[in-house]
Amino acid sequence: MKRKAYLDWAATTPVYPQVIKAMTPFWRENFGNPSSLHRWGEKARKAVDESREKIAALLDVSPLEIIFTGTTTCADNLALQGIAEAKRYQGKILVSAVEHHAVLDVAKALARKGVKVAFVPVNRWGEVKMEFLEKEITRDTFLVSIMMANNEVGTIQPVNKISELIRRKEKELKTRIYFHTDAAAAVGWVEISPPKTGVDLLSLGAHKFGGPKGVGLLYKRQDVVLSPITFGGHHEFGLWPGTEPVPLIVGMAKALELTLREKEETKKRVEKLRDQLIEGMLALKGVTLTGHPQKRLPDIASFIVDGVEGEAMLLSLSDYGIAASSGSACSSGELKPSHVLLAMGIPPEKAHGSIRFSLGRETTEEEIRYVLRVFPKIIERLRGFQRGIKNV
């Protein structure tokens, strides 16, 4: 079926045409290895250096603080594992209970290596509990990792307040505490500049904002000490070895430039469409909004639908040409509720009924109207099916 409504932009985005154009010369014409000492290599190295400089300027940081990686997940791993390795796995880290698995799973792996890990709880809106964070930051704490905004429910975390708290605790405890944020979901919607947000490390991936898949970056403030976690070359300051993917890096730089240039205009338009979707969804019986009602990303509208499972909704929506996502994941035949929703205090039986619509720069009002026209039919049919099963 022809696409009628792609509302899964938080999962991945279509690449900007301008990005494709910028990348094209580096597939064949300027295909050299950036480490090679000939003119093909020189052209490739120049493209990487110029992309690094462009991204650094957009983020208000030094080019020496930008490390290209494979994905956001790679950047998260480099940040957490790299600092823990530098600390010889001695000490404590704090991560929020609603982090992406790219951070949560790394934290759990570090715990198995001897690092003390505390998971910061959240309130019913998905905001981290600042009082817990303040109490748990002790003299042996060397890292705090809190995502900038949640990719599932859209709640924006108080990153500036967290940074201020960490800096105050550093002075009180006379120790250095690094602050890392996964900003993958936040690019193009909220302020991500490290000098303005107060973070020491920041991860993001190009495919979330109109760039190609397969490339990400880690911003690392120059005074942050990282040990490499992969080996095999001198690339990326010795922290991410392997030949740089020149076309992808060029594409990421161009995508970030376009995204930040269009930020305010896109944000205003998408926010209006999101509110229209939320209003229509909440008019339906048994549908509730998840995440903070005000402090949320402009592109995320997430809900709990009573009496229906998330996977069933996704399959039905897909039949109508609509793309969305659910916090529930089917694994080994077992439907697992979202860890984010459970951390927010939503019971497992309700969390199974989660659905997330995420909008983007190309989302239209026609798409929103189509979803609101189709969705009531879907949940009515699925609830009827569920009632039929219970009556058997």
Residue numbers annotated as active site:
330
Helix (H, G, I), strand (E, B) or coil at 63: helix
Is residue 320 within 8 Å of residue 374, measured between CB atoms? Answer: yes
Is residue 60 within 8 Å of residue 195, measured between CB atoms? Answer: yes
SS3 content of the chain, % helix, strand, coil (to 5): 45, 15, 40
* β partners of residue 333: none
Q: Return the half-sphere exposure (C-beta side, CA atoms, 13 A cut-off) of residue 252.
A: 35
Gyration radius of the chain over CA positions: 22
Is residue 350 within 8 Å of residue 287, measured between CB atoms? Answer: no
How long a stretch of residues is the chain? 392
CA–CA gap between residue 110 and residue 133 (Å, rounded) = 19
CA–CA gap between residue 73 and residue 182 (Å, rounded) = 9
